[in-house]
A and B are shown apart, each in its own frame.
Chain A
Amino acid sequence: MPRTPNAVDFWRGYALVSIFVNHIPGIYFERFTHRNVSFSDSAELFVFLAGWSLGYLVGGSDAPKSTPRLMLRLGSRAFQIYAAQILISSLAIATLASAAFLLDNPLILEWHNAAAVFLDPALTHIGLVLLTHQLGYFDILPLYVVLMVVAAPLVALIYRFGRPLLVPLSLAIYLAALIVPITVPTWPVPGQWFFNPLAWQVLFVLGFALSRPDGIGDFVQRHINVIRLVALPITALSAAVALFSLFPDPTIFPEPKLLFLNGKTFLTPVRLLQFLALAAVMSVTYVYIARGVPWLVAFLALLGRNSLNVFCVASVLSLLGQIVRYLYSRSFGVDTVIVVVGIALLWLTAWVSEWRQQRASG
């Protein structure tokens, strides 16, 4: 039996729908996603909840007691995510190539950083497999893979053998990445990872640490009401700044600038703090949403429980949505059909995934 709806699955489902919509640039419904009133967006929520889920995997009641078995379980999960990334990248490349042929428009071959795949296939395919070449809007899973391959085992080991070091060590790596700054290069097309893993690991680790009933997680749970009182004005102020583009000119900040800028690649402190404040404020709403709109909670939790499958389908559907929008001129009707059909297919993906799991478990 699938687990009953809970806040983590609900918010993860929300993040998946939001990512699906935001990955169709220009779509009408993009304006209703929370990134318009926030420095952070669903990517932060997705990574934070990935860290939170790692908490269940490492410290939950059914977590393997032996460390080697735990490493094996983490490695298996990382491989699953890696395989998903390779699959959706291949599907995206084939989708772009098909659209370019069928619509007689080779420009589509250049969408989403795909040009190198067609112009320099030998090196770019190596880059795709090594995750050093990422298609635009297909760049969250590579971050997730790195977090699961490198960060997750380290988090698990430190949590088991040197718990107090976990958050300080993560913060130290984060600050070093921002101050130096340390970028992660792409190849063969020179550039940098859109999501810098050295910076984003901090949110993954914080998600993990806050999910645990001890340490920082215990502290936050005990003082959540005070934290929400502090977080509320931060959330409101950042909403106003984001909505009315009031963020100061980034060139006025002193070095190291990344400590003050609002940048997604490095998950700069202003984004990180705003996300944590938003999470603290919004976490209180789950109980009321569950009470007032139970069907919505059941629906989004279903998506959240099957997040990897839903994420993969959402990524490909976003790309198809872009092609449909290109084919049919801008209209509210077309955008509505794309979103409604897309969300329905996400639901179908989640439903089929659970149906298969139930059949497999007899």
Chain B
Amino acid sequence: MEAATSKRLTTAAGVALIFSAALSLAAWAQATTGQATTGEATSGQAATGQGNTGPGDTDFPPLAKECGEANATTMALPNSARALAKDKKLKILAIGASSASILGGMRDGNPPLLEQLLERTIAGLDVEIVNRGVSGELAGDAAKRLKVEVALNQPDVVLWQVGTNDAFAQVPVEEFQETVGEMVRWLKEHNTDVILVGLHYMKNLAKDAHYQAMRASLQHIANVENVPRIGRYEAMEILSRTLRENGRRDPGEFGSTESAYDCMARYVARVIAVGLFAKPPKKPASH
């Protein structure tokens, strides 16, 4: 909070210097979804603990062997589940950096892999993906745009890929945490599920203190706000190790990021599919 206040005050002072003549005048309500009490569930628990006719445990979007296990917190997506129950439709708003990296390959004009996987997994489901990713955008700018996009598109779930650009742009960790946390709370208040997609993996970023602090910060937000997070960094680390062990190229190497993208789309599809059929959280007993 202090960082933001200080930044605003510095901004005000700076602008006043430049435009002193003309511009000196410038001077959780918890959503009904009850996400706060949602616990984490494994895909198996999720699939068996609901009344909906969902896919069986083994029917969730398959992960290629080389993708390893998704390091993702999986939990109920109650707003998306309601949309599914109502008219078998799911509207996903993708925002943040490179969209291809979470939606999967979009070769030859086919729909994104994520859409194909979800529609294949859940019979009769109509998935609409609204891609509003702006590459290079920082969390602060994305958050402003996200509110507008939610108002315009009324998505059931937001896939927010966030953190890498802010880490590269050296955005202070506190500022990042405040921005993303505030936005996640806003989405929950507006009955919109959110899945945070974490920072990218690069071997030579393992010792980058700021980068690692941003990772930890996003993990903290997901834990505090009880929203699913896809640990892309951890997942890609596993993928990288698996590929190296098999004598294949690291996903971080040139020309092989496509396989990493497809893995990410599979992780996302799995988190959504699990979230759609996860057992709703128990409401605290009223006294």
With A106-B254, A112-B135 as contacts: A119 and B21 at CB distance below 8 Å:
no
Contacts of A137 in B (CB 8 A): 136
Which A residues from 200 to 254 make CB contacts under 8 A with B?
232, 235-236, 239-240, 243-244, 249-251, 253
**A26-B170, A115-B98, A115-B101 in contact; A37/B23 too (CB < 8 A)?**
yes
Q: Which A168-198 residues sit within 8 Å CB-CB of chain B?
A: 181, 188-192, 194
The answer for the CA separation of A67 and B37 in the assembled complex, in Å, is 70
B11, A36: Cβ atoms closer than 8 Å: yes
Q: How far is the CA of A135 from the CA of B18 in the complex (A)?
A: 31
Closest B residue to A282 using CB positions: B22
The residues in B between 134 and 148 inclusive whose CB is less than 8 angstroms from any CB of A are 134-138, 141, 145, 147-148
Within B245-280, the residues touching A (CB, 8 Å) are: 252-254, 257-258, 261
Q: Which of A25, A37, A114 contacts B141 (CB 8 A)?
A: A25
Q: How far is the CA of A104 from the CA of B253 in the complex (A)?
A: 9
B132: A residues at CB distance < 8 A: 191-192
Interface residues of A in 312-362 (CB under 8 A from B): 322, 325-326, 329-330
Task: Flag if B134 contacts A194 (CB, 8 Å).
Answer: yes
- Bound Cα distance A111, B164 (Å): 10
Report the bound CA distance from A101 to B138 in whole Å: 24
Cα–Cα distance between A330 and B208 once the two chains are bound (Å): 13
Cβ of A285 under 8 Å from chain B: yes
Question: Would B19 and A110 count as touching, CB distance under 8 A?
Answer: no
Q: Which of B39-47, B53-61, B74-82, B102-110 contacts A (4 or more CB under 8 A)?
A: B102-110
The reply on A16 being an interface residue by CB < 8 A is no
Interface status of B88 (Cβ within 8 A of chain A): no
- Nearest A-chain residue to B204, judged by Cβ: A104
CA distance A124 to B7 in the complex (A): 39
Interface string of B124-138 (1 = CB under 8 A from A): 000001011111111
Q: In whole angstroms, how far apart are the Cα atoms of A1 and B20 in the complex?
A: 34
Known: A25-B141, A37-B23. A251 touches B133 (CB 8 A): no
Q: Is A288 an interface residue (CB 8 A)?
A: yes
A301 within 8 A of B: no
Nearest Cβ distance between residue B285 and chain A, in whole angstroms? Answer: 32
Q: B residues within 8 A CB of A282?
A: 19, 22
Would you call B26 and A136 a contact (CB within 8 A)? no
B206 within 8 A of A: no
Query: B152 to A32, Cβ gap below 8 A?
Result: no
Partner of A244, one of B8, B22, B141: B8
Q: How far is the CA of A251 from the CA of B10 in the complex (A)?
A: 30
B11 / chain A contacts, CB cutoff of 8 Å: 31-32, 36-37, 243
Known contacts A112-B136, A119-B258; A107 and B164 CB within 8 A of each other: yes
| A-B residue pairs, 4 tightest by C-beta | A239-B26, A330-B170, A26-B169, A236-B25
Query: Which residues of B are at the interface with A, using a C-beta cutoff of 8 A?
Result: 7-8, 10-12, 14-15, 17-19, 21-23, 25-27, 97-101, 105-109, 112, 129, 131-138, 141, 145, 147-148, 150-152, 164-166, 168-172, 190, 200, 202, 204, 210, 252-254, 257-258, 261
Query: Could you list 12 A-B pairs, sorted by A, with CB under 8 Å?
Result: A25-B165, A25-B169, A26-B171, A32-B17, A109-B254, A116-B100, A119-B258, A189-B99, A189-B131, A261-B148, A325-B168, A330-B170
